[in-house]
Structure 1
Amino acid sequence: MGGRKVTILCSGFGLGFYIPGLLVASAFNKRGIATEALVFESYLEQDKMDHIADSRSAYHHNFALANVSARMPMDIRGSMDYARVELLLDAWKAEDRREFISLSGHWVYILDLYREKMLPKPIHVDLLYVDSDLAPSWKSLKKFHPRYNEFYYDACLYDTDKMEIRCEIPVSLDEPLPFGSRKRRLVVHGGGWGMGTYQSKVPELAGRNYGLDIVAYDWKEAKPDPGHRYWMNDPKWCAWVKSANDLHEFPPYIEISEEETNAFAAKADHHWLFDVASEAMAIVAKPGAGTLIDSLASATPLILLEPFGSHEQRNLELWESLGFGIRYEKWREMDFAVEILKEMHHAIMNRPGERTNYVDHYCSRVALTNG
């Protein structure tokens, strides 16, 4: 399909609003549709951008603080670099950009400015909600701009009233590995920012006859032993800094085993952690947006840790209700049994309803040919 370019607007504040955007871009590209992915943090004032690393570290070390911050609305407009935004809007207008998908509420202020600039020409914007409820950027937006979605399309992956999956973001074209072919391993992580209670579970899981693949937040956390491997995104990588070829890409990564440490380049069309999770029996993690996508696409069940914010609480309830996940405490009561993992794997494999690919759903609604 020749024609227009779809602009995918991500945020690096949580990788759940970054990696799904790149997966969507990859799916469009496979259909011959051009895309550009952009990251909101690139359009913040420099001092605000510099401060993000401090927040990230604080939230990693203090999950209670992170949860308090999730409840505090923030008007992001005071942090934006309007000179850079204006250059972006002029570039879009020069190219006649019309199709946008936003994974973060923060972008809507910029999209509103662009919509005004383009009048009377219409633009099409999908607001893509990758959680079961509004994540903090959407909640803040709704507080300061209650009718934010008046001119745009609400694209929800999940219907929490019906406890159903509406649309899926696929990761790989391969069929998920059958449960019997999987390694007796668990992936343990704290999402893109290494948040939550995951580290406290490692000692208990270590004695349970499962090998562990633990995603470390930094070098200090990586303490491999014979049964466990540690992995991490390359610490030098940053979601809002473009790669050498001027693109936002999936993160390069590092594998740390007892014998050696290996660094790997980013994968072209998906993120490295998906491949590790695809071979495991379960993912032990908080129910973030990216983790749900990995769980569904790889048919790897979730052992649910304490959620971050009310949106992840809704994610937890959805996965539990569908039989795709179980709370860590409940699994502990079952003595960490493999059988329940197998049942949940089959529940994901045999899930009812249409498996509607979000990108197909988009293409069925939006004409992408020039004209």
Structure 2
Amino acid sequence: MGKRTVTILCSGFGLGLYIPGLLIDRRLREKGVYTEIEVFENLISQDKRDNIQKSRKAYHSNFAVALMSARMPMDIRQSIDNELADAMMKSWAKENRRDFILLSGHWLHIIDEYRTRIAPETVNAEILYVDCDLPPSWKSLQQYKPDYNQSYKEVWLYDFENTKIQYQIPIVNEEPIPILERPERFIIHGGGWGMGTYQGKIPELQEKGFELDIVLYEIQEASRKRIGDRCFMVDPSWRAWNKNERGSYEFPPLAQIIPDEEPIFENKEEYHELFDITKNTRAIIGKPGAGTLMDSLSSATPMIMLEPFGEHEKKNTRLWEKLGYGISYDTWKEKGFSMEILRELHENLVKGRKAALDYTEGYKYRNSL
């Protein structure tokens, strides 16, 4: 039979469905649970993986293109390499894999097929939703009706209807730095793909004298920095679906970009490097993606929210506003870029993160691991 292993099914298409998977993996391992990670893009052909990079560039350059793509349903089955999928399922069957956590809807076809190959009732598959609504990878599954499908357990991190955080995925095991002890800096970025309207806000913030930690997506963007700003960038050659030399999936390698210096890209085993920058800032300025919400909650760093990507991020915005964890950029601007408001939001986050249950603890309990 072998060890009971929890298989965490991620997607590298967006870091909001990749980094949470790695965090779950690390936290479960700390609790003595055996885990394996799979990244969906390893089941599609090389040319289609190359197209992901082209899409990323297009979405970064033009947010309108990204917004349009979020509304277009797609059938991911056309992209799956059946031989690769077959080999993976045979390997799972040989190892008696029974426990799965799905972060991306792209995996549903694979798990459905795996169920038909072995006794369906022996597959324990849990879907974890890391946004307040279904993101594109789930909405594109037009035949899938979450409320009526009893084959999967479903867990939502956030209860939007009742304005509640049900679970959190802890990033570090430490208390947040009090906001008044942090330097008066702001981190500004566009999530894993550098999407959104954040670049247009940089000149205004610089004019106000705010010091920024800017996450770049192309090296030439470093020319926009001013004295007091810092620039960071993920290694442009890194791909979420490639394992490192130790045979593991890893967090994105990050470097500070300093003029006339060769960047040194580094990452940690336990969590993503960007978190260490975020936890030392007064607020995150960007769109409210799944990974950014996790950073906000875990570090008790308020969100100053820009235009969301898709309906799921619109709901993320509304939840963070209702809970008093974030504020829209326009409202913050109307209130004179108030630091007092950020202090209040920080205090709400400190209380909220104490009340939110650890998802991995709940998973262990639900599945008697």
TM range (shorter): over 0.9
The 5 A counterparts of 1:135-150 are: 135-141=135-141, 143-146=142-145, 149-150=149-150
Greater mean deviation of Cα atoms: 298-307 or 335-344 = 335-344
Deviations 1:28-87 (A, max 9, x none): 111121211111111112322221111111111111111111011111111100100000
Partner of 2:276: 275
8 Å contact from structure 1 (residues 225, 257) kept in 2: no
8 Å contact from structure 2 (residues 206, 226) kept in 1: no
Partner of 1:236: 237
- Once residues 150 and 49 of structure 1 are traced to their aligned partners in structure 2, the CA distance between those partners, rounded to angstroms, is 32
Counterpart amino acid of 1:77? R
Counterpart amino acid of 2:319? L
Gap change, CA 1:146 and 1:260, over 3 Å in 2: same
Gap change, CA 1:123 and 1:179, over 3 Å in 2: same
Partner of 1:257: 258
Q: CA deviation at 1:5?
A: 1.2
1:170 and 2:181 are equivalent in the alignment: no
Partner of 2:300: 299
Q: CA deviation at 1:144?
A: 3.3
Counterpart amino acid of 2:35? T
Greater mean deviation of Cα atoms: 48-57 or 191-200 = 48-57
Counterpart amino acid of 1:269? E
Partner of 1:48: 48
Deviations 1:71-104 (A, max 9, x none): 1111111110010000000000000011110100
Partner of 2:318: 317
The 5 A counterparts of 1:218-233 are: 218-223=218-223, 224-233=225-234
| Number of aligned residue pairs | 366
- Once residues 347 and 145 of structure 1 are traced to their aligned partners in structure 2, the CA distance between those partners, rounded to angstroms, is 36
The residue matched to 2:33 in structure 1 has which SS? coil
The 5 A counterparts of 1:330-349 are: 330-349=331-350
Greater mean deviation of Cα atoms: 343-352 or 358-367 = 343-352
The residue matched to 2:319 in structure 1 has which SS? helix
Q: CA deviation at 1:132?
A: 0.3
Q: CA deviation at 1:347?
A: 0.9
Partner of 1:364: 365
Partner of 1:184: 184
The residue matched to 2:140 in structure 1 has which SS? helix
Q: CA deviation at 1:134?
A: 0.3
Counterpart amino acid of 2:309? F
1:87 and 2:87 are equivalent in the alignment: yes
The residue matched to 1:263 in structure 2 has which SS? coil
- Once residues 41 and 151 of structure 1 are traced to their aligned partners in structure 2, the CA distance between those partners, rounded to angstroms, is 24
- Once residues 233 and 98 of structure 1 are traced to their aligned partners in structure 2, the CA distance between those partners, rounded to angstroms, is 35
Partner of 2:216: 216
The residue matched to 1:37 in structure 2 has which SS? strand
Gap change, CA 1:226 and 1:120, over 3 Å in 2: closer
- Once residues 244 and 18 of structure 1 are traced to their aligned partners in structure 2, the CA distance between those partners, rounded to angstroms, is 19
The residue matched to 1:222 in structure 2 has which SS? helix
- What is the aligned-residue RMSD (CA, Å)? 1.6
* Stretches of structure 1 lacking an aligned partner (at least 5 in a row): none
* Stretches of structure 2 lacking an aligned partner (at least 5 in a row): none
- Once residues 217 and 307 of structure 1 are traced to their aligned partners in structure 2, the CA distance between those partners, rounded to angstroms, is 19
8 Å contact from structure 1 (residues 59, 195) kept in 2: yes
The residue matched to 1:351 in structure 2 has which SS? helix
- Once residues 323 and 76 of structure 1 are traced to their aligned partners in structure 2, the CA distance between those partners, rounded to angstroms, is 37
8 Å contact from structure 1 (residues 129, 155) kept in 2: yes
- Once residues 122 and 286 of structure 2 are traced to their aligned partners in structure 1, the CA distance between those partners, rounded to angstroms, is 41
Q: CA deviation at 1:334?
A: 1.3
Q: Percent identity?
A: 49
1:154 and 2:141 are equivalent in the alignment: no
- Once residues 238 and 221 of structure 1 are traced to their aligned partners in structure 2, the CA distance between those partners, rounded to angstroms, is 21
Q: CA deviation at 1:195?
A: 0.2
- Once residues 172 and 215 of structure 1 are traced to their aligned partners in structure 2, the CA distance between those partners, rounded to angstroms, is 21
Partner of 2:352: 351
8 Å contact from structure 1 (residues 185, 210) kept in 2: yes
Runs of 4 or more, structure 1, over 6 Å off, are: none
1:131 and 2:156 are equivalent in the alignment: no
- Once residues 175 and 108 of structure 1 are traced to their aligned partners in structure 2, the CA distance between those partners, rounded to angstroms, is 37
The residue matched to 1:144 in structure 2 has which SS? coil
Deviations 1:160-202 (A, max 9, x none): 1111101111100010001121010000000000000010000
